[in-house]
Amino acid sequence: MRSGFISSGWLVQSRPSHPIARCSGRPWSGASGTRGDRPNHPVYRVRVGAASLRRSSWRALRMKVTASADDLKRQVGYRAVDDYVRSGMVVGLGTGSTAAYAVERVGHKLSSGELKDIVCIPTSVRTEEQARSLNVPLTILDTHSKLDVAIDGADEVDDALNLVKGRGGALLREKMVEVCAKQFIVIVDESKLVPGLGVSGAMPVEVTPFCWQHTLRQIAALPSVAGCRAEPRRTGDSQLYVTDNQNYIVDLYFDRPIADAHRAAAELLNTVGVVEHGLFLDMATVALVAGKDGIYEKRKPGAR
């Protein structure tokens, strides 16, 4: 690489070697100030000074790009709350780095008095902890089975607003809450928009710990996901990942988009040992998308 480029939100600079910066075979003692002792040579000092300045500039720009990515998440999370949450509502709170900003916004608007008399249902333990830290009133589906709105992120969004969710491990609680909402608002950045589901990473399936290897084999043999690679999710220390519901996750990886997501969803749920899957089909009302030019809405084709 001969120049800087952006990868995963980070600016990377390659620095090709320059003859001045290459050692001539003489030791760099830094004591005599001779041409062979590069650190004390005036040309070398100028070169190093310029290189240090360039590195500082790149670091600052890298931080700026990262901050901008976080700022877009904040903007889309705040926008969802500002546009769709009103006083007196029952609200579903999603899980993930983008959804966390929506939770934050709810907390701030409650504190300022802009929102009143709302109760929220969190979709994970970590969302519950964040909401409690912001003094957001919480409830559960047992007492509030009908929600006015739910706001959450997604791992993939296709043109029909079908989703893959659950790479953060909260898919069961997310689906239980969000399927009960009159409006389900999805908040993402443009990198999550895909031509077909299953192309950008794992499609998670939550399974019972009992005989999970048997269930994994049953899943991999389903006609609708033929050719996928099924792997148990593990933590950084190679332990099996355990969900908030004390279940395991089998991650499915595909070389091409899932041909029939609705068929795959049905076959997965009909597999004994499967608790839930990460295909969220025909659930989203609208997607708020953070793009390079700001926030825009994405709706199903033909929808107003």
Q: pTM of this prediction?
A: 0.78
Q: Which two tokens stand for residue 251?
A: 């991650």
> Nearest CA to 107 among 147, 135, 77?
135
Residues marked active site are found at: 174
pLDDT tier at 46, thresholds 50, 70, 90: very low
* Whether pLDDT at 166 is above 80: yes
User: Residues near 221 by Cβ (< 8 Å), separated by ≥ 6?
Assistant: none
Q: Does domain 70-298 have CATH number 3.40.50.300?
A: no
* Whether pLDDT at 145 is above 70: yes
According to the model, what pLDDT value does residue 99 have?
97
Mean pLDDT taken over the chain: 85
pLDDT tier at 159, thresholds 50, 70, 90: very high
According to the model, what pLDDT value does residue 113 have?
98
